[in-house]
Amino acid sequence: MAQVISDRRDVDFVLHEQLQVEDLSKHERFAEFNKKTVDLIVTEARNLAVKEMLPTRELGDKEGCKFDKGKVTIPESFHKLYTLFKEGEWIAMSEDPAWGGQGMPVTVALAASDYFNGANFPFMIYAGLTHGAGRLVEVFGTDKQKDLFLKKMYSGEWTGTMLLTESDAGSDVGALATTAVKNDDGTYSITGNKIFISAGEHDLSENIIHPVLARIEGAPAGTKGISLFLVPKIWVKDDGSLGEPNDVVCTGIEEKMGIHGNSTCTLAPRNPSGRREQRDARHVSDDERGSTAYGPSRI
């Protein structure tokens, strides 16, 4: 059973005999990651994957996600698993400890992820997208954005997504029609319709941070005119506390064979009732001609 995920002998061979990963501990940055520590990390990851994650894969696929009036509930068994995953600090394994990461070498993090992804990939989409969106904030965000979002994302308290795809903009992401209009206070109002959004809405975390690709009014057509925005599901106030829901409307969930445990959503940063036309966002790039820094990752 255990070896269906990833063979420990193969993992040890690649880490130690092929890559001599413990040599990294000669560098100050990775000093604590000697062979003993690396082996411990891999053993812990394997235990979590085999004992806790693998049994929930089939359960999660059979139960699936449920959509009701804009809210999505995910498989029951994923909740306990997510708590264990957060407690083990597995979301930001290789990231900077200053922001709540574990600071381990990426090679070691990948060995651990091999077990996790093999055990329950639909579950890992929640964690993986949170890690990816957090990393995006760390690399491209302003100091203020990092202060507001990063620790909460790397700890898993808030999750993350990526909103790129639209019905007429898949591989051709430059065709996207989502618009961004600058507000007087420096925020932007985003309006559009996104599809295939993995982990787009769910009941796993109190907030979801959506990196959204949109075109600022007047920006050129094609990829040159695209900018990237951070749109929290619930607005985050300047002191870090949660404000009002931010009108990111989930209009449905979609069928994805084999990953029913992950909520693939259609999402509209808009309010269909027309109660409030303006949505707020924080612009990640200062370049108003558009940022191509964060492109579609699944083509």
User: Pick from 262, 138, 149: which is nearest to 196 by CA?
Assistant: 262
The answer to whether residue 198 forms part of the interface with ligand FAD (CB under 6 A) is yes
Stretch that binds ligand FAD, among 51-59, 92-100, 192-200, 244-252 (CB under 6 A): 192-200
Dist. CA 280–CA 160, nearest whole Å: 17
Stretch that binds ligand FAD, among 150-158, 163-171, 222-230, 244-252 (CB under 6 A): 163-171
Closest separation in Å from C-beta 148 to ligand FAD: 22
The answer to whether residue 196 forms part of the interface with ligand FAD (CB under 6 A) is yes
Which one of residues 93, 127, 197, 267 is an interface residue with ligand FAD (CB under 6 A)? 197
Closest separation in Å from C-beta 298 to ligand FAD: 4
The answer to whether residue 163 forms part of the interface with ligand FAD (CB under 6 A) is yes
The answer to whether residue 162 forms part of the interface with ligand FAD (CB under 6 A) is yes
The answer to whether residue 298 forms part of the interface with ligand FAD (CB under 6 A) is yes
Stretch that binds ligand FAD, among 17-25, 84-92, 159-167, 285-293 (CB under 6 A): 159-167
The answer to whether residue 268 forms part of the interface with ligand FAD (CB under 6 A) is no
The answer to whether residue 165 forms part of the interface with ligand FAD (CB under 6 A) is yes
How much helix, strand and coil, in percent to the nearest 5, is found in the chain? 40, 20, 40
Phi then psi for residue 253, to 5 deg, are -120, 155
Q: Are 217 and 179 in contact (CB under 8 A)?
A: yes
Nearer to ligand FAD, 30 or 82 (CB): 82
Nearest-5° angle of CA 119, CA 212, CA 73? 45
Cβ neighbors of 98 (< 8 A, separation 6 or more) are none
The answer to whether residue 171 forms part of the interface with ligand FAD (CB under 6 A) is yes
The count of residues interacting with ligand FAD (CB under 6 A) is: 14
Provide the residue type at 185 as one letter. Answer: D
Q: Is the dihedral of CA 190, 193, 197, 203 positive or negative?
A: positive
Dist. CA 168–CA 157, nearest whole Å: 33
Which one of residues 256, 292, 293, 295 is an interface residue with ligand FAD (CB under 6 A)? 256
Using Cβ positions, the residue closest to ligand FAD within the complex turns out to be: 170
Copy the structure tokens of residue 125.
């989409």
Nearer to ligand FAD, 102 or 117 (CB): 117
| Class of residue 256 by CB neighbours under 10 A (exposed 0-12, middle 13-18, buried 19+) | middle
Query: Which residues are at the interface with ligand FAD (CB under 6 A)?
Result: 161-165, 170-171, 196-198, 256, 296, 298-299
